[in-house]
Chain A
Amino acid sequence: MAFAEYPLGQPQADAPRLPLLVRLHDWVVTVDHKRLGIMYICTGLLFFAVAGLQASIMRWQLAFPHHDVVSPAVFNRLFTMHGTTMVFLVGMPIILGLANYLIPLMIGARDLAFPRLNAFGFWLSLFGGVLLYFSYLGGEGLTGAGTAPDVGWFAYAPLTERAFSRGHSTDYWILSLLVTGIGSVATSINIVTTVFCMRCKGMTLARMPLFVWLLLVVAGMILFAMPPLTAAQLMLLLDRYLGARFFDTQAGGSAVLWQHFFWIFGHPEVYILMLPGFAAASEIIPVFSRKPMFGYAAMVGATLAIAFISMGVWAHHMFTVGMSTMANTFFAASTMLIAVPTGIKIFNWLATMYGGKIRFATPMLFCIGFLFQFLCAGLTGIMLAAPPFDWQLSDSYFVVAHFHYVLIGGLLFTIFAAIYYWFPKATGRMLSETLGRWHFWLLVIGFNLTFGPQHIAGVLGMPRRIYTYAPGRGWELWNLLSSIGVALQALAVLFFVWNVIRALRQGPPAGDDPWDAWTLEWTTTSPPPEYNFETLPEVQSRRPLWDLKHPHDPDWRHE
């Protein structure tokens, strides 16, 4: 196939439109992985807007010392809901949605292993989200304890015990996450089973796209990492309702035990969130560098190493709790160790681009932004991995900056890359490159303007989760800059929304393979038919389309 501009196909003939109610009903009862995937992603993006609004209000409150935009109680609910929403109602649905949509297409299957379980998982996730937000209406309790939960997204005990958290707001936090957690586990079982049992002929594990490999590992991690949170939440529920003593410090219970259980979940969780971003980057960077992924086996190995080590680093969130020297030293070692496979991945991406012919289409722009920002995130992570340094930086705005560099600078950027890359496949329409560039540059500038200065605020002693601060601490300038960046980020997101709406209405037709890519999803139509493939494919290498396009130099000669 000649490498010209992106080859655009013919627009699909318009079928007669079914009545709206019928179309809605089809979506509600669907078990089709593609539709569920889209619903997952749309749910995630919707909650993203909500959580973004919450963040904007917080940044407005913190733009000036002793600012009076919201009361302390409202602010505390805002940061709790912002964190909980972003992790559980934005991050998880979007990554599971991407997995849902792409995995069967990439392995040459017609659907996931358990389509009805898939639907169940989605609706549970959505219900959990609605339940969390219902707390604004239903969470009213005694002594003005408030409506939405206000205990922070990691809900440390004993602040969450009945004595200190009156009313039902904390219960909504617990119950909604129990529900979404079950949904996540259900989908993970589905993903693991699908990848092990439904690959097309010729696709050994070593020939799967890296996206599938990484999401398989992520699904496995969810299976092991989600239960500690579920267990801890059940324990907390027993404490609050049946008078159990798990975290009741007056009865000899341990507040630190909650922290251990939470972070045994919480640390793998952040890798669960980030690895799908790596997965998308591992598909996009090769295509736009026009070279195969450098070091496929090393990438798989590094992923497995990250997954394994990530189960043993959790207490680096607890360096200030007063653990023994031995414990602090062990967790410092494991945390620093995990930097090695992560670094290997970054080097492999760079090596993929090296010697290539880089196209700066929007998906690639976002991946480049990701590389730079994730590097920064990783480096601040190394700083935090050293317990003495962490004794100063922990629970300060330095940590806030660090994890936003991971989750926005890393994950969100790769999610946008993934959307720009696979939107044409899912909808049959191309997004606008011009609007994409506006989106990208506004986001890069806004994001770095918001979170860069927060490193400095942290170093100057500003703790996190404070609704206000006094003048004269040297924090004013950094907070103001940080808040200004929000406007740019919001503008960027508006450009994205406009891009999507415009493309859906009048975007140019995409054709099967607009990016001249190499994996199986590009062999079928855009959007794919419900059955995905007319005949199930049979592959001989990692890049079946490359083999077809280059019959004189197929991949299987080199693998």
Chain B
Amino acid sequence: MDRPVHLTNIFDPVSTPAQAILELSWLVLWICAGIFVIVVGLLTYILIRFRRRRADTEEPPQVYGSNQIELAWTVIPLLTVVVLFLVTARTIRAVQSVVLPADALQVTIVGHQWWWEIRYPALGIVTANEVHVPVSDQAQRQPTLLKLASVDVAHSFWVPRLAGKTDVIPNRDNHMWIEPFETGLYLGQCAEYCGTQHANMLLRVMVHTRSDFERWVAAQQQPPVRDPSVQAGRDLFQTTACVNCHTVRETVANGTFGPDLSHLMSRATLGASMVDNTLHNLQAWMRNPQHLKPGNLMPDMKLTPQELEHIVAYLATLK
């Protein structure tokens, strides 16, 4: 796999909430740096200046304490904490208490063991592991509201360059927002231990220009491709247990346990970003999902090589 380097540095935000966090972070870092310099400086000075010299056997003057000094180093840190707290409180509100405009894009993120279901309720789109959003700019603000839900255990949605993380917890409605101001691909992953394949529950957020985003939406809204040359594969798919877990729109497959496959080939990766979405990898996955992602909840379907060939050929047409 030849992947370009994708840094997800929290100090390189491309979205409004992440930017707000960074601004607070700088203040915190400067305060901490100041304290560090003072204390380490003091410590170093003390260690050098007050070393016991050889053969010096006399005890130094015994000092028991000083109320004034105690007061000083109580009050000054307290004041520092108060300042830090006030700025922090302001940033909390700036990120958490934002009321997004009514026309903000709404995306529902559903956490599963170990993949992400992505739904656009207003647009009728369901996909997996990739979030596509339009870019926002000063002229036309376009934030995206993310509603977070889980069907099983606690997960956490974290795309560092776009926002801080918010946990995805069953029986709890969390939400967060992003407002990217630069197009591009931003990586993230689940940040709350959720079981065996927690490490491979990755996220891809694609920020498009407005027109690109609309093009993507239109493509996703299309019914799945019905290519007659893979009829055999389609029939096989629809008569195998595949349909219990997966959905392909406008077919009998309407399972929701696994990812929606209607536009499988429009996605860049398989297995929640474990491998690139190529024919070879699709075959490997279908042959034995446990080999690529041991412990994941798709069982080995025990397909014969011919069945495998048909189904893969069919899935490969679902662009």
A residues touching B (Cβ–Cβ < 8 Å)? 2-4, 71-73, 76, 150-152, 156-159, 164, 249-250, 252-256, 289-292, 294-298, 320-322, 325, 328-329, 332-333, 336-337, 339-340, 343-344, 346-348, 350-351, 353-360, 368, 371-372, 375-376, 379-380, 382-383, 386-396, 459-461, 463-474, 550, 553, 555, 558-559
Given the known inter-chain contacts A290-B52, A357-B60, please indicate yes or no for A388 contacting B88, CB distance below 8 A: yes
Cross-chain contact B60 with A351 (CB below 8 angstroms): no
Residues A340 and B81 in contact, CB atoms below 8 Å apart = yes
A355 touches B199 (CB 8 A): no
* Complexed CA–CA distance, A346 and B172 (Å): 41
Contacts A336-B85, A469-B199, A473-B7 given; does A156 touch B92 at CB 8 Å: no
Q: Is B223 an interface residue (CB 8 A)?
A: no
Q: Which of A158, A332, A468 contacts B170 (CB 8 A)?
A: A158
**A72/B6 in contact, CB under 8 A:** no
Q: Is the CB of B190 within 8 A of A463?
A: yes
Name the residue on B nearest A398 (C-beta).
B10
The answer to whether B134 has its CB under 8 Å from any CB of chain A is no
Q: Does B184 interact with chain A (Cβ within 8 Å)?
A: no
Q: Can you list 29 residue pairs at the A/B interface with Cβ under 8 Å? A: A156-B192, A164-B152, A252-B171, A253-B171, A255-B172, A290-B60, A291-B61, A292-B63, A294-B65, A295-B70, A321-B174, A325-B93, A336-B84, A355-B50, A358-B47, A358-B52, A375-B35, A375-B39, A386-B88, A388-B24, A388-B25, A389-B28, A395-B191, A395-B192, A461-B7, A463-B189, A465-B193, A553-B62, A555-B62
Q: How far is the CB of B289 from chain A (nearest CB, A)?
A: 14
* Bound CA–CA A195/B314 (angstroms): 77
Evaluate whether A558 and B64 lie within 8 angstroms (CB atoms) in the complex, with A332-B92, A350-B42, A375-B36 already known.
yes
Tell me, yes or no, whether B295 is within 8 Å of chain A by CB.
Answer: yes
Given A325-B92, A468-B199, check contact A355 B63 (CB 8 Å). Answer: yes
B164 CB contact (under 8 Å) in A3, A249, A388, A463: A388
Pair A391/B21 contact, Cβ less than 8 Å: yes
Give 17 A-B pairs besides A159-B194, A387-B92, A388-B20 with Cβ atoms closer than 8 angstroms: A72-B197, A76-B196, A164-B153, A321-B174, A322-B166, A325-B96, A339-B81, A340-B77, A344-B73, A357-B60, A372-B40, A375-B35, A376-B36, A383-B29, A386-B24, A460-B160, A472-B5
Across the interface, A72 reaches (CB within 8 A) one of B154, B169, B174, B294, namely B294
B35 touches A298 (CB 8 A): no
Complex Cα–Cα for A111 and B44 (A): 41
Chain B, Cβ-Cβ closest to A459: B10
Please give, as numbers and ranges, the residues of chain B lying within 8 Å of A249 by CB-CB distance. Answer: 169-171
The verdict on B99 contacting chain A, using a C-beta distance below 8 Å, is no
Measured in the bound complex, the distance between the Cα atoms of B73 and A298 in whole Å is 11
Q: Name B18's closest neighbour in chain A (CB-CB).
A: A392
Q: Which residues of B contact A295 (CB under 8 A)?
A: 64-66, 69-70
By a CB distance below 8 angstroms, the chain A residues around B61 are 291, 355
- CB B9 to nearest CB in A, in angstroms, measures 5
Q: Is the CB of A386 within 8 A of B28?
A: yes
Quick check: is B156 within 8 A (CB to CB) of the other chain? yes
Q: Is the CB of B191 within 8 A of A473?
A: no
List, in ascending order, chain A residues with CB within 8 A of B32's CB: 379-380, 382-383
Whether B216 is near chain A, meaning CB under 8 Å from some CB there, is no
Least Cβ–Cβ distance between A78 and chain B, in angstroms: 13
A140 to chain B, nearest CB (A): 16
- Which of A152, A250, A337, A392 has a CB less than 8 Å from the CB of B10? A392
Expressed in whole angstroms, the Cα–Cα distance for A250 and B47 within the complex equals 60
Known: A360-B51, A368-B47. A296 touches B63 (CB 8 A): no
**Does B89 belong to the interface (CB within 8 Å)?**
yes
Closest CB in chain B relative to A433 CB, distance in Å: 15
Residues on A with C-beta less than 8 A from B187 are 461, 473
Report yes or no: B165 in contact with A392, Cβ–Cβ below 8 A. yes
Interface pair B92/A3, CB less than 8 Å apart: no
Please report which residues of chain B, range 66-87, place their CB below 8 angstroms from some CB of chain A when the two chains form the complex: 66, 69-70, 73-74, 77-78, 81, 84-85
Shortest Cβ distance from residue B36 to the other chain A in the assembled complex, whole angstroms: 6
Complex CA–CA separation, A472 to B85 (angstroms): 37
Interface residue? B301 (CB, 8 A): no
A549 to B64, CA, bound (A): 18
